Structure 1
Amino acid sequence: MTKALTPGSIAPPFARYSHAVEIPAGHRLVVCSGQLGIDSQGDVPPDVEGQTRLCFANIAAILAEAGMDLSDIVRINAFVTGREHLPGYMKTRDEFTGSPPPASTLMIVSGFARPEFVVEIEVIASAP
């Protein structure tokens, strides 16, 4: 079982994430490339929440290939194209992450390969 590391000697996380996650010996790792909010038909929702849901659906499909699921995520790196997308992304992310929450970084970037994309998510997952 992974262990969240959140020392009391530093400021607590700003949102629902862990400062770090310890992975026990003997666990496998899956490193997932950044996923965009696009479905198998090429459709892209117009809003950050819809795109975030698709990102996590794509990640879930990738993890399933390794016999894992979203509860095995230990690290999230997420990118959004503006501050206005932060609340919708964080609300939706929290629907898909377990407890303790994974370590996480959220960055604002100038854009992605296509202008309709507003969020991209990459993860690291770990399981026995």
Structure 2
Amino acid sequence: MELVAHNPTDGVYPATDDYVHAMEVRGAGRLLFVAGTMGLDATGTPGATLTEQLELIWSNIRVILASAGMTVDNVVRLTSYLRDASYAEANADARVKALGGRPVPTTAIVAQTLVSDWMVEIEVIAAD
């Protein structure tokens, strides 16, 4: 599989260092669509803080990816749902850390969560 980032510079605003406008996936044999994943531990209890929830989210995503024989290196698209806009920077920092600095197309949306204790939910698309 080959990943080709597309970041046009004419006629569109510039992407920042932590994401790309588009990712072309060539020769992928499989696509994995991961449902929104929350910062819950194995018993379904949410982390007490934003930092704890982000750590749990990325741990959960790694487990889900591993169940399909994939890693975070296979993530080609990411959407974050934040309960509060003030969570954006911590969410971006956690994403950059989890992906080892590899930029992917990403969107962050501020939305009401189904349960008030859920601060962030992240869904990804992975390919190999």
Q: Which runs of 5+ in 2 are unaligned?
A: none
Shift of 1:15: 5.5
Distance 1:117 1:2, change over 3 A: same
Q: Deviations over 1:7-47 (max 9, x none)?
A: 11121124611111000024310000000000102231122
Q: Deviations over 1:78-112 (max 9, x none)?
A: 10011111111111111111454111000001x22
TM-score, normalisation: structure 1: 0.91
Quote the residue 2:25 is aligned against: 23
Q: Which amino acid aligns with 2:65?
A: L
Count the aligned residue pairs. Answer: 126
Q: Helix, strand or coil for the counterpart of 1:2?
A: strand
Q: Which runs of 5+ in 1 are unaligned?
A: none
Consecutive aligned runs of 4 or more in structure 1 exceeding 6 Å deviation:
none
Asked whether the 8 Å contact 1:37–1:52 carries over to 2, the reply is: yes
User: Which segment is superposed worse, 6-15 or 72-81?
Assistant: 6-15
Counterpart mapping for 1:10-89 below 5 A: 10-14=12-16, 16-89=18-91
User: Which segment is superposed worse, 17-26 or 30-39?
Assistant: 17-26
| Cα distance between partner residues in 2 of 1:72 and 1:99 | 13
* Percent identity between the two aligned chains: 29
Quote the residue 1:118 is aligned against: 119
TM-score, normalisation: structure 2: 0.91
Q: Which amino acid aligns with 2:104?
A: P
Asked whether the 8 Å contact 1:4–1:100 carries over to 2, the reply is: no
CA RMSD of aligned residues (A): 1.4
User: Which segment is superposed worse, 13-22 or 66-75?
Assistant: 13-22
